[in-house]
Copies of this chain bind each other. A is one copy, B any other.
Amino acid sequence: MHAAATDPDPTICHPFLPREAVVREVGLRDGLQSIAMVLPTAHKLDWLRQAHAAGQREIEVGSFVPARLLPQLADTEEVLAFAKTLPGLFASVLVPNLKGAERALACGADLMMVPLSASHAHSLANLRKTPDEVVAEVARMRAARDASGARTLIDGGVGTAFGCTLQGEVRESEVLRLMQGLLDAGADRVSLADTVGYADPAMVRSLFEKALRIAGDRLWCGHFHDTRGLGLANAYAALEVGVTRFDACIAGIGGCPHAPGASGNVATEDLLFMLESMGVATGVDLHALLQLRARVASWLDGQTLHGTLWRAGLPKTFAPAPVAARAVAESQDR
A positions within 8 Å CB-CB of B: 1-4, 6-8, 14, 16-17, 163-165, 168-169, 171-174, 176-177, 196-198, 200-203, 205-206, 226-230, 232-233, 235-237, 256, 258-259, 261-263, 267, 270, 273-274, 277-279, 307-309, 311-313, 315-317
Contacts and interface: CB of A to CB of B under 8 A. Distances in A.
B7 A308 contact: no
9 contacts: A1-B174, A2-B174, A4-B173, A6-B176, A168-B316, A169-B317, A200-B277, A232-B232, A233-B274
A226 B316 contact: no
Nearest to A235: B233
Contact of A312 (B2, B16, B256, B309): B256
A317 B168 contact: yes
Q: Copies of this chain, how many? A: 2
A54 B20 CA distance: 43
Name, among A229, A261, A312, the residue most crowded by chain B CB atoms within 10 Å (CB to CB). A229
A201 B2 contact: no
Contacts of A4: 171, 173
A230 B229 contact: no
A19 to B, nearest CB: 12
Given A6-B173, A173-B7, A274-B233, A17 B308 contact: no
Contacts of A278: 200-203
Contact of A228 (B236, B258, B270): B270
A256 B201 CA distance: 26
A163 B317 CA distance: 7
Contact of A227 (B2, B169, B308): B308
B263 A308 contact: yes
Contacts of A206: 8, 14
Contacts of A315: 163, 196-198, 228
Contact of A259 (B2, B198, B313): B313
B308 A229 contact: yes
Nearest to A262: B312
B230 A274 contact: yes
